[in-house]
Structure 1
Amino acid sequence: MNLNQFLLRLHLTPGIGLKGEYLVAQWLTNHPGQLRNLLPSEISEIASVLPQHRQKFEQSFMSDKVSQALARHEKESQYLTFFDAQYPALLKESWLPPVVLFYQGNLELLNAQRLLSVVGSRKRSAYSETVLNRLMPTLIENQLVIVSGLAAGVDSLSHQLALRNHGHTIGVIGTGLNLSYPASSQKLQQYMAQHELVLSEYPLDAVGKKYHFIERNRLIAGLSQATLVVQAQEKSGSLITTSLALQNNRDVMAIPGRIDDPLSCGCNQLIQAGAKAVLTAQDILDEYPSLKTK
C-alpha cells in the first residue's frame, strides 16, 4: 500500500473525521518512511479518534468493505492527496485542508495564478445578474479563474457568466462527484466536469448533508487569494465562507446594496466590518498585485 492508497483508505474509513485525517497527514510529514509500521491502533492515537468511534475505526480500517470501496474509487475516480505535487499551495496553507480531493476535469486550473471565489445568495436576483454581468468580462479578460460552489443563485450564475465570457471556472461541491445538488445544477456540473474542473472531498454516492456544505465552504475560501460576496442575507452561509477566508488571511470583498434589501444586509455588514466595497472590476483587480490590467 503506497502513500496515496493509505490516505484514500483512511479517508474512506468511518470514524476518523476530516480533522483526524489531517493530523495523520501532519504526522506523516514529520515522520517520513514510517507509513509501513503504522497499526490501526496507532493511527487512532495520532488522529485523536474519539473513544466512542475508536473501535469502529480500528475494525473498519483493513476491512473488506473499506477495501472494496478503495478498489472502486481507484478504478472510477481521480484524486489528489495532500502530498501530491499538484495539490494547490494556497489550499495547503488554509485551515484544515482536505487530505484527499476528488476531481473531474482540467486539473491545470489549480495552477492558475489568480483565483477568485465568488459566493452569495441562493436566490438569483436582477441585482446579482446586473452586478456579475458588469464585473465578469473584465475579470475574465484579466485571466481570473472563478471558484464557486455550483449552488443555485449566485454560485451557478458566476460559473455560467465565466463560461459565457470564455473564461475558466472551478466548482466545489458537497456531494460525491457522481451526484449533483441541487438538481438544477446537474447539466452545468456535467459540462464543467468535462471542460473545466469540479472538486469534492466526498466519496462516490455521498449525498449532500447540511454539514457537507459548511465543510465545502472552507475549500472555496482556501483555494483563492480573495473572496467576493455578491449578495447575502444577515445569516447567510456565504458569511461562513468569508469568515474562513479571513481566518486564512485572504482578502474579502463585498458588493454594497440597498439598506432595505434583505439580500444585501450581509454584504453591507461585511463592508461596515472592514471588507472592501466593490464598485468596479478594478476594485477586485487591485487585490492581485502582480496583475497587469489590460
Structure 2
Amino acid sequence: MVSLRNRIIHLHRCRGITRRTITRMLTIDPSLSSIYNLSSSQISQQFAIPQKHAISLHQDLHNHTLQKEIERDINSYTILTVVDESYPIVLKTIKDPPLVLYTIGDVSLLEQIPALSVIGTRSPSRNALNKMNLILPTLLEKNWVIISGMAMGIDSYAHQFALRKNGKTIAVLGGGFQHIYPKQNVTLFDQLSKKGLVLSEYPPGQPPERFHFPERNRIISGLSFGTLVIEAKERSGTLITVDQALDQGREVYAIPDSPTNPEAIGCNRMIQDGAKLVIYPDDILEDWDRAKEIWINQTQDIRN
C-alpha cells in the first residue's frame, strides 16, 4: 500500500498543482487516495484547478516513469514530508511551510536549538570576515547551528566559517542536489553533506530557477531563532529574507558599518527600521536567554 507521505512526494512532483492546492487536498481527503481515481475533469471540478492544469496533473499521477524516479530518490535521499514526525517543528509555524524536504547529511541538526541564519551580500567587503569573526565563534562554541543558503559571498563565508570552527551548519538550496549553484560551491556542497546538512524543497533533478531563491528564503529564516545580516546593499535580495523573518515573528539582527561602505548601507537601514544593532555576541545571546523557555514551550505545544 502506498503511504500518505509517498503520495505527498508524488503530488509535489506533479505538474499543474501548487503547495496551496495540495494543502487544500489534505483537508478534503487526508489520505490523498481519492485523487488517483478521478478523471482530469473531476480533478478540475473538485479542486478548482483549471482544466489545462488538471490534465497535466492527471498525466503525472499515472506516469510510471515519474513514479520510478520518485522511488529511486526515496531510496537515495532522506526525504521529510509535512506529515512525518521528523519534520522540523519550527517550520510548521510559518506561512506556506514546505511540504517536502530532500536532505543529505545530519538530519538531527534540524532538531538542534538554537539556530541562527547568517546572510548577506554576494559581494562582501574585505571587512566582512572580521565582522563574522567578531560574532560567530562564541555562538559556535555554545553549539548554535548556522543556517544559510550556500550562495556566493556571505552565505558561503558563513558555512565555511562554521566548518573551520568544527561547528554545525545547514545549507538551504534553491535547486536540486544534482544542479549545484553556483558551480564554484560543489566542493562546499560535498563538505556540508559530510559534516553538516544540505536540504532543498526541490527534487534532486530540478535545476534552480530565479524565483526559487526568494522562495527558499522562508525556510532559512523559518528554521532559525533569528536572522543576522552581516552586510547588505541598500537594494538587496537579503531584504527578502529579513521581511520573511519579521513576518514569521523571528528576530532580526544587523551589524552596522560606515555609511561610506556601499555593502553595508542595507544593514544601517535595517537598524534605522528597527533591526537590533549587533556588535557583540551577547547582543544575540541575551535575546535567546530571554526567549528560550517560550521558544521551547511553543515547539512542544505544536508537537503535542
Alignment TM-score, normalising by the size of structure 2: 0.89
Instruction: Pick which of 257-266 and 85-94 moved more.
Output: 257-266
2:124, 2:231 within 8 Å by CA — same for their partners in 1?
no
1:231, 1:266 within 8 Å by CA — same for their partners in 2?
yes
2:172, 2:220 within 8 Å by CA — same for their partners in 1?
yes
Counterpart in 1 of 2:301?
A: none
1:23, 1:46 within 8 Å by CA — same for their partners in 2?
no
2:124, 2:263 within 8 Å by CA — same for their partners in 1?
no
Q: How does 1:196-235 map to 2 (within 5 A)?
A: 196-235=196-235
Letter in 1 for 2:33: R
Q: How does 1:50-69 map to 2 (within 5 A)?
A: 50-69=50-69
Residue 159 of structure 1 and its aligned partner are, at CA, apart by: 0.7
1:149, 1:155 within 8 Å by CA — same for their partners in 2?
yes
Residue 63 of structure 1 and its aligned partner are, at CA, apart by: 1.8
Instruction: Pick which of 281-290 and 77-86 moved more.
Output: 281-290
Distance in 2, Cα, partners of 1:286 & 1:11: 40
Local SS of the residue matching 2:199: strand
Counterpart in 2 of 1:37?
A: 34
Counterpart in 2 of 1:181?
A: 181
Counterpart in 2 of 1:81?
A: 81
Counterpart in 2 of 1:8?
A: 9
With over 3 angstroms needed to count, the CA separation of the structure-2 counterparts of 1:226 and 1:49, relative to structure 1, is farther
1:95, 1:248 within 8 Å by CA — same for their partners in 2?
yes
1:254, 1:270 within 8 Å by CA — same for their partners in 2?
yes
1:124, 1:152 within 8 Å by CA — same for their partners in 2?
no
1:24, 1:43 within 8 Å by CA — same for their partners in 2?
no
With over 3 angstroms needed to count, the CA separation of the structure-2 counterparts of 1:132 and 1:12, relative to structure 1, is same
Local SS of the residue matching 2:287: coil
1:136, 1:165 within 8 Å by CA — same for their partners in 2?
no
Deviation sequence 1:172-192 (CA, Å, 0-9, x none):
011111221111111111111
Give the paired residue count. 288
Deviation sequence 1:33-53 (CA, Å, 0-9, x none):
x43333455665676534542
Counterpart in 2 of 1:144?
A: 144
Deviation sequence 1:154-173 (CA, Å, 0-9, x none):
00101111111121000001
Residue 18 of structure 1 pairs with residue 19 of structure 2: yes
With over 3 angstroms needed to count, the CA separation of the structure-2 counterparts of 1:71 and 1:122, relative to structure 1, is same
Residue 13 of structure 1 and its aligned partner are, at CA, apart by: 0.5
Residue 249 of structure 1 and its aligned partner are, at CA, apart by: 0.7
Distance in 2, Cα, partners of 1:148 & 1:94: 18
Residue 4 of structure 1 and its aligned partner are, at CA, apart by: 1.1
Local SS of the residue matching 2:127: helix
Deviation sequence 1:174-212 (CA, Å, 0-9, x none):
111122111111111111112210000111221111011
Residue 60 of structure 1 and its aligned partner are, at CA, apart by: 2.0
Unaligned runs of 5+ in 1: none
1:22, 1:97 within 8 Å by CA — same for their partners in 2?
no
Letter in 1 for 2:132: L
Distance in 2, Cα, partners of 1:18 & 1:36: 17
Residue 8 of structure 1 and its aligned partner are, at CA, apart by: 0.7
Distance in 1, Cα, partners of 2:43 & 2:189: 36
With over 3 angstroms needed to count, the CA separation of the structure-2 counterparts of 1:49 and 1:217, relative to structure 1, is farther
Distance in 2, Cα, partners of 1:152 & 1:264: 17
Residue 92 of structure 1 and its aligned partner are, at CA, apart by: 1.3
Instruction: Pick which of 61-70 and 210-219 moved more.
Output: 61-70
Residue 152 of structure 1 and its aligned partner are, at CA, apart by: 0.7
Local SS of the residue matching 2:235: coil
Q: Percent identity?
A: 37
Deviation sequence 1:95-141 (CA, Å, 0-9, x none):
21110000000000011120100110011322211100111110111
Distance in 2, Cα, partners of 1:156 & 1:82: 28
Distance in 2, Cα, partners of 1:255 & 1:121: 13
Unaligned runs of 5+ in 2: 294-304
- CA RMSD after TM alignment: 2.0
